[in-house]
Amino acid sequence: MSGATTERSALDYDVVVVGAGLAGLVAAASAAESGLRVGIVARSSGSLGLWSGLVSGRIPPTEAGARAVRFFMGYSAAAGLPMAEVPGTLRLVSATGRPVTSALTPRTAAADLAPGSKVLVVGFSELADYPAALIAETASRLAGLDCHYRSLSLGSAAGRGLAPRIARLFDDEEWFDGFLTSARRFLAADASSASTVLLPPVTGLDHFGRNVARLEDSLGTAVRELPALPPSVPGHRFSRLWRHRLESTGRVSVHIGRTVTGSRVENDRCRWVSDGLVRYEATSFVLATGGVAGGGIVVGPDAFFGLSRSVGDHAGLVTKPVEPVLGLETRGEGAAWLTWGVRTDYDGHPYRAGEGGGARRLENVYVAGWEAGVSGATGPQAASTLLDAYRAGSLAARDACLARERWET
Amino acid sequence: MSRRDVVIDHADVVIIGGGATGIGLLWDLSLRGLDVILLEQAGLAAGTSGAFHGLLHSGMRYAGTDRRTAAECLEENALLKKVAGPFVKDTGGVFCRLDDDDPGWERRWLDGCREVGLRPKPFARNSLLSAEPSLSARIVSAYAVPDAAIDGFGLLWSLVWSSAAAGARVYFRARVTGFLTDDAGVRGVTVVGLGGTEEEALQSAPAFPAGTPGPAPEPGAAFGEVTAPVVVNATGPWARETAALAGSAAASAVPVEQDKGVMLVFNARLVSRVVNRLRPPADGDIFVPHGPVTILGTSSGLVRGDERPAATPEEVCLVFEQGQALVPGLGLAAPLRAYAGVRPLLRACGSGGEPGRRGGRGFLLVDHGEAGGAAGLVTVAGGKFTTFRAMAQAAGDLVCRLLGKNVPGRTAEVGIPRLRRHPAGTRYAGEPAAGGRGRTGSERDSSRARPARLDGALACDCELVDLAHAMSLLDEGLGLADLRRLLRVGMGGCQGVFCSPRLAGVLWQAGWPGSRQRPRPDGPAILAETASFEQARMAGMKSTQWGAQARLAALAEAFDELTLGEDSRAGPHAGVTKQ
Ligand SMILES: Cc1cc2nc3c(=O)[nH]c(=O)nc-3n(C[C@H](O)[C@H](O)[C@H](O)COP(=O)(O)OP(=O)(O)OC[C@H]3O[C@@H](n4cnc5c(N)ncnc54)[C@H](O)[C@@H]3O)c2cc1C
Ligand SMILES: Cc1cc2nc3c(=O)[nH]c(=O)nc-3n(C[C@H](O)[C@H](O)[C@H](O)COP(=O)(O)OP(=O)(O)OC[C@H]3O[C@@H](n4cnc5c(N)ncnc54)[C@H](O)[C@@H]3O)c2cc1C
């Protein structure tokens, strides 16, 4: 089960988080709150580059829900990505103009578009994946908005770019001054009769807050960013700013570009995980590897064929759960891959497929985010990712603190 | 006057079926200077010719079983490498025997090869394994043959456009529902125009059981007649059903059956040449490299023609497991999708040949005037993609004889240039339209402004499809499925998941033209159209969902549901077990 012992060095943390998607970053932040040393080990920044930036779903009206949201909003604001403080669920439209909702929304995206709202959808002709005309058309029909659209050229400096490149341009202050002038000239008339102006979410990787505020001043109307198609600037912002904030505390180390391929388990506890070069040792672990979508669970051909043959009976099915890492039990529905995840107990401890069929619980590992599978009832929404990642991080930290106390006394 | 009486068009020859055989004949007759019309119920190569393996056979696959087909293929293989050079990737091919394959078969195969005029060069085992590192070490002997990969879509489009430049008319979404006859025999066909997308056209018109008239037309579908002194049935695996429209005598002269084959596409160049297994032809024993992907096939099983062929997980599993014998690391390669085609299989007449893959090869050419029944009707069916030109030439000779013209065929000499779009000023009909020649680019409704700059923008990132090019083809009345076959839109790594919303935006902005049968789509309608394009792609992924493909399916579900706000639960990403 453990990888070949080729590691040249070992790093020691209180908590190791595997995965740097939404779940991994939130879990690491929550674990680091109690002053522990946290290591993040991840292959990539996960689904964040595809994420629209909205937190879909509903935050349950419980004490735990409120605590997680408070933490998330506070941390994000401190990281430089403030969330809207509007209570309740916001009505927005998607990158093709269909109605969507969001429970927690970056401040620059926080519009609440009631049917009948007068909205101006602005597109940039250099931005490939932002169909302003279509958004306006579908939003009028499907979300009942009173939509118009305008297309604006960003000038030669933009070239023909994907969103992150154009966002970089917006961070250039001198260029933005010029943009502001032409925006006022070409948009002011239409903007004045609208209650909200919707822009593509490319107003900067760093200075988006300031830029949106300056646009609002200049147009005299509320300006908001719409969720967009990948590659997603809101996701890049989240990944950059949260990682920066995590590292700036001095207690969190982020190891990206590292794929965990081995582990050591003794007495139902994980001792370390390894990427083949480095061992990451810790008292407790959070597994936030994203399930089938994130690459934490690999579906082998045998598993797939076994599944499609035995319709309705998936008992004993072997997908390869983070194999060869921890050999955990998985469960899910048919080939609805988002539902597949690691089986856990109430606290989020996974089970390891044991000899003779007896599954053993891994006492110092917590599973968070899509790695635990997406319930068919709620769908793959970030609201639940957020809540259980916060909880997994705090439980892992609690265990590590207890162990430290035991060790110190 | 009822709409049924409207004569849409008239020519010397009408061809039914827009696969390799029909389009080959269109080209052949155009070169002979005849006035030709082609009617295709769906889109270009929407039948078998768009769901084949892409192998320009050396013929040696049949050397041990069917020497006539082997010889036909070998000859056409050499000829097409010359006249259709731009569409052939001369990868070369190899036949490999594994340690547990019958050595007796190897001898019989070698005899067969020599008999048709080829001496396969032995390929030293070690140099083969170093040239093709993903092949199995269990290979005990191997021989080089002149197999090659062929770009079927590119070839057929170029033939359509070259023929159109010579005056031929091609009607897509035009389904033949019957023959017009008088005392002298067949003098034309009745046509129903199928509206909507190609997917919808195919769904609303599954090939109908023999002897019954076609399904009732949808409201609004256009009826019409196309007349010609000679009608050619080139409907491939459906040739018998089509002939049956002219009566049971005509049908019984066309002993064609439908034999389904399943193929798997892997997102990697697993081999650099065509790799065949040296054993009696069976499942999953050919790998064909096409650019960055490799296609593994195939399987065999008789089916009924009134269902669209689909790859079942069982067939995929079978092909996959067999393929693993030649390429042991197959499980690590990312599967892109699976698809199925139906072979036009000739029942060996008289000789009592059994059906299925071992049945008779070669092709069928019937003069129904002679065979009894319908004078003026010709059926050409069977064969292989590789032999389409030979089939077209033989059918062209027969057509000329029937018309009393003495013009020799020229397809063996005239090179086929690769055209990227149809030459300006040519007539081209996107769909049958009463009293007219269909819509042309210049009639496009341009009330919606084009985006200022299309240059350099991509319609599909995975396949690097130029947006301006894609738009110019849509202007000509082509649909999304045509873009896929022509430009490979949606055929790359993301399989249309991420590019279909982009296409929606582009189509809307560019004012995707409506048509007589289909009003210009509004925003939600365009979204529905691109979603159905994506779903058709996803359907092909359903039976290959492991590894990277399972991951893509999961991401696609999240993307549709969350980013786009679509309800995907009932959609194509729902699991195979929920079908
Ligand atoms: C296309 C898309 C759009 C979305 N849009 C929305 C939206 O509009 N609203 C919303 O609420 N939510 C949205 N989400 C969901 C949300 O963004 C999160 O992706 C989701 O909640 C799951 O996050 P995660 O951290 O569990 O997984 P991921 O983000 O997938 O993270 C998994 C992490 O684990 C790492 N990893 C995996 N295996 C290994 C290994 N062996 N070793 C080391 N590291 C490994 C990966 O590199 C990655 O860092 C969207 C998701 C996607 C995919
Ligand atoms: C799995 C598989 C793999 C193959 N691999 C190879 C290979 O690698 N190399 C090779 O050389 N050959 C291969 N073949 C064989 C080859 O693909 C076929 O022999 C060839 O494509 C047949 O072409 P066709 O034009 O006769 O038929 P089709 O391509 O099927 O064309 C018939 C057309 O007629 C249309 N039609 C039917 N009824 C009507 C109607 N009533 N009105 C209007 N239109 C109608 C259909 O829509 C269809 O487009 C393969 C076949 C299969 C099934």
Average pLDDT for residues A289-312, to the nearest whole number?
74
Cα–Cα distance between B10 and B23 in angstroms, integer?
18
Residues in Cβ contact with B401 at an 8 Å cutoff, skipping those fewer than 6 apart: none
B497 confidence band (pLDDT: 50, 70, 90): confident
Q: Is the pLDDT of residue A66 over 50?
A: yes
Distance from C-alpha of B214 to C-alpha of B193, rounded to nearest angstrom: 12
Nearest ligand for residue B215 CA: 2
pLDDT digits (tens, 9 = 90+) for B399-429: 999 999 999 999 999 999 998 765 554 444 4
Cβ-defined contact of B314 to A138 (cutoff 8 Å): no
Q: In chain B, which among 299-328 make CB contacts under 8 A with chain A?
A: 313-314, 316-317, 320
List beta partners, residue B522.
none
Alpha-carbon gap, residue B188 to B176, rounded angstroms: 10
How many percent of chain A have pLDDT more than 70?
91
Closest CA to B324 of B139, B143, B136, B550: B136
**What average pLDDT does range B129-154 have in this prediction?**
96
Structural contact between residues A373 and A287, judged by C-beta atoms closer than 8 angstroms:
no
Tallying the residues shown for chain A, one arrives at: 409
Complete domains list, chain A, with CATH: 9-75+235-299+317-408 (3.50.50.60), 88-228 (3.40.50)
pLDDT of residue B150: 98
Average pLDDT over residues A196-222: 95
Please give the Cα distance from A119 to A199 (Å, whole number).
Answer: 11
Q: In chain A, which among 137-166 make CB contacts under 8 A with chain B?
A: 137-138, 140-142, 151, 153, 160
Q: Which of B313, B327, B333 is nearest to B548 (CA)?
A: B333
Most confident of A332-341, A398-407, B19-28: B19-28
Mind telling me how many Å the CA of A137 is from chain B's nearest CA? 6
- The radius of gyration of chain B's CA atoms, rounded to the nearest angstrom, is 23
Rounded to whole angstroms, the Cα distance separating A270 from A367 reads 13
Secondary structure of A57-124 as H, E, C letters? CCCCCCHHHHHHHHHHHHHHHHHCCCECCCCCCEEEECCCCCEEEECECEHHHCCCCCCCCEEEEEEE
Cα(A370)–Cα(A375) distance, integer angstroms: 10
Average pLDDT over residues B142-154: 96
Ligand 2 proximity of B389 Cβ (cutoff 6 Å)? no
Give yes or no for B105 touching A (CB within 8 A): no
DSSP B529-545: HHHHHHHHHHHHHGGG-
pLDDT for the residue B486: 75
Instruction: Give the gap in angstroms from C-alpha B61 to the nearest C-alpha of chain A.
Output: 28
Task: Answer whether B305 contacts ligand 2 (Cβ < 6 A).
Answer: no
The pLDDT score that the predictor gives to residue A160 is: 67
Contact B561 A380 (CB under 8 A): yes
Helices (H) and strands (E) in chain B, counts: 16, 24
Q: What is the mean pLDDT of residues B250-257?
A: 93
Q: Are the CB atoms for A131 and B457 separated by under 8 Å?
A: no
Distance separating alpha carbons of residues A220 and A235, to the nearest angstrom: 28
Question: Taking CB atoms and an 8 Å limit, are B545 and A304 in contact across chains?
Answer: yes
pLDDT at B216: 34
What is the chain B residue with the closest CA to A305? B317
Q: What value does the mean pLDDT take over residues A20-30?
A: 97
Nearest to B250 by CA among B178, B191, B197, B318: B178
The nearest CA of chain B is from the CA of A364 a distance in Å of 28
Q: In this complex, is the C-beta atom of A385 within 8 Å of any C-beta atom belonging to chain B?
A: no
CA angle B319, B325, B329 (to 5 degrees): 95
Q: Is the pLDDT of residue B69 over 60?
A: yes
Range scoring the smallest mean pLDDT among A103-107, B71-75, B208-212, B418-422: B208-212
CB nearest to B546's CB, from A128, A291, A301: A301
Chain B positions in Cβ-Cβ contact with residue A48 (cut-off 8 Å): none
Q: B497 or A344, which is more confident?
A: A344
| Average pLDDT over every residue of B568-572 | 41
Query: Rounded to whole angstroms, how far apart are CA atoms B20 and B160?
Result: 10
Mean pLDDT for the stretch of residues B326-347:
89
CA distance B559 to B573: 11
Mean pLDDT of A203-229: 94
Cβ of residue B564 closer than 8 Å to a chain A Cβ = yes
User: Separation of B528 CA from ligand 1 center, angstroms?
Assistant: 27
Nearest CA to ligand 2 atom 31: B19
Of A55-69, B126-140, B170-184, B411-425, minimum mean pLDDT range: B411-425
Closest C-alpha among A278, A304, A239 to residue A79: A239
Q: Is B533 in the pocket of ligand 2 (CB under 6 A)?
A: no
Per-residue confidence band for B440, with pLDDT thresholds at 50, 70 and 90: very low
Confidence of residue B79 (pLDDT cuts 50, 70, 90): very high
Q: Which residues of B are less than 8 Å from A304 in CB distance?
A: 313, 545-546, 550
> Quick one: pLDDT at residue B573?
34
Task: Please list every residue in chain A whose beta carbon sits closer than 8 Å to the beta carbon of residue B456.
Answer: 160
Backbone φ and ψ for A40, nearest 5 degrees, come out as -105, 130
User: Residue B364 and residue A366: Cα distance in Å, rounded?
Assistant: 67
Residue B277 pLDDT grade (very low, low, confident, very high; cuts 50, 70, 90): very high
Closest approach of chain A CAs to the CA of B541, in angstroms?
A: 11
Among A residues 161-220, those touching chain B with beta carbons less than 8 Å apart: none
- C-alpha dihedral sign at B421, B425, B431, B432: negative
Q: In Å, what is the CA distance from A347 to each residue of A14, A333, A351?
A: 19, 22, 12
Given this model, what pLDDT does residue B451 score? 42
Q: What is the DSSP letter of B190?
A: E
Give pairs for A153-159: CB < 8 Å, separation 24+: A153/A124, A153/A125, A153/A126, A153/B452, A154/A124, A154/A125, A154/A126, A154/A127, A154/A179, A155/A179, A155/A182, A158/A124, A158/A126, A158/A127, A159/A126
The ligand placed nearest to the CA atom of residue A325 is: 1
The alpha carbon of A305 and the centre of ligand 2 are apart by a number of angstroms equal to 29
Picking from B495, B501, B502, B513, the residue whose alpha carbon sits closest to that of residue B549 is B495
Ligand nearest to the CA of B553: 1
What's the distance, Cα to Cα, between the start and end of chain A in Å? 34
CB contacts of A295 in chain B (<8 Å) are: 551
Contact assessment for residue A406 and residue A20, using Cβ atoms and an 8 Å cutoff: no
- The secondary structure of A271-333 as a DSSP string is EEEE-SSEEEEEEEEEE---HHHHTSEE--HHHHHHHHHSTT--TT---EESTTTS-B-EEEE
What pLDDT does A299 receive? 84
Counting ligands in written order, the one closest to the CA of B245 is 2
Within 8 A by CB and 6+ apart from B370, the residues are: none
Q: Are B148 and B155 in contact (CB under 8 A)?
A: no
The full DSSP string for B230-287 is EEEE--GGGHHHHHHTT-HHHHHT--EEEEEEEEEEESS---SSEEEESSSS-TT-EE
State how beta strands A330-333 and A336-342 pair: antiparallel
Local confidence band at A197 (pLDDT 50, 70, 90 cut-offs): very high
Cα(B253)–Cα(B243) distance, integer angstroms: 8
Residue A176, pLDDT above cutoff 70: yes
Element (H, E) at A208: helix A208-219
| Cα-based angle B555, B561, B566 (whole degrees, multiple of 5) | 135
- φ/ψ of B420, rounded to 5, equals -95, -20
Q: Hey, which of A235-249, A287-301, A338-352 has the most confident mean pLDDT?
A: A235-249
What separation in Å is there between the alpha carbon of B12 and the centre of ligand 1? Answer: 62
pLDDT, one tens digit per residue, over A119-171 is 999 988 888 778 888 899 899 999 999 999 998 888 877 776 778 889 999 99
Give the pLDDT of residue A170: 95
Q: Which atom of ligand 2 is nearest to the CA of B381?
A: 26
Residue A165's alpha-carbon distances to A170, A391, A393, B498, in angstroms, are: 9, 36, 34, 19
| C-alpha–C-alpha distance, residues A197 and A195, integer Å | 7
For the cut 80, the answer to whether the pLDDT of residue B127 exceeds it is: yes
Residue A405: what pLDDT?
84
| Cβ within 8 Å of B, A 353-382 | 379-382
| Residue with CA closest to ligand 1 atom 4 | A51
Say yes or no: B504 contacts chain A, CB-CB below 8 A: yes
Give, for A222, the enclosing helix (H) or strand (E).
Answer: strand A222-225
Residues 32-51 of A with CB under 8 A from B: 47, 50
pLDDT band at B351 (very low <50, low <70, confident <90, very high): very low
Q: How far apart are CA B143 and CA B93, in angstroms?
A: 8
Residue B443 pLDDT grade (very low, low, confident, very high; cuts 50, 70, 90): very low
Query: B468, B534, B464, B540: which is closest to B504 by C-alpha?
Result: B534
Cα gap A274→A261, rounded to integer Å:
6
| Distance of alpha carbon B305 from alpha carbon B192, whole angstroms | 19
- Return the pLDDT at A318: 38
Residue contact B563–A335, C-beta within 8 A: no
Kindly state the average pLDDT of the residues B94-104.
Answer: 96
Q: Whose CA is nearest to atom 33 of ligand 1?
A: A19
Closest CA to B554 of A260, A146, A24, A290: A290
pLDDT-based confidence at B361, cuts 50/70/90?
A: very low
**Total CB pairs under 8 A between chain A and B:** 169
Report pTM. Answer: 0.81
In short, whether A109's Cβ falls inside 6 Å of ligand 1 is no
How far is it, in rounded angstroms, from Cα B72 to Cα B58?
9
H or E element, residue B503: helix B499-509
B328, two tokens: 């042991």
Max mean pLDDT range (A342-356, B180-194, B434-448): B180-194
Q: Test A311 with B577 for CB contact under 8 angstroms.
A: yes
Cα–Cα nearest to B388, from B45, B35, B13, B40? B45
Please give the distance, rounded to the nearest whole angstrom, from the Cα atom of residue B19 to the centre of ligand 2.
6
User: A248-275 as b/e, with b when 16 or more CB fall inside 10 Å?
Assistant: eeebbbbeeebebbbbbbeeeebbbbbb
Q: Which residues of B touch A130 (CB under 8 A)?
A: 505
B392-396: long-range pairs with CB below 8 Å, 24+: B392/B21, B392/B24, B392/B25, B392/B27, B392/B28, B393/B28, B394/B363, B394/B365, B395/B21, B395/B25, B395/B28, B395/B232, B395/B234, B395/B365, B396/B25, B396/B28, B396/B29, B396/B32
Which burial class, exposed, middle or buried, applies to A226 when counting CB atoms under 10 A from its CB (0-12, 13-18, 19+)?
buried
Interchain contact, B451 vs A96, CB within 8 Å: no
Average confidence (pLDDT) over A366-383? 85
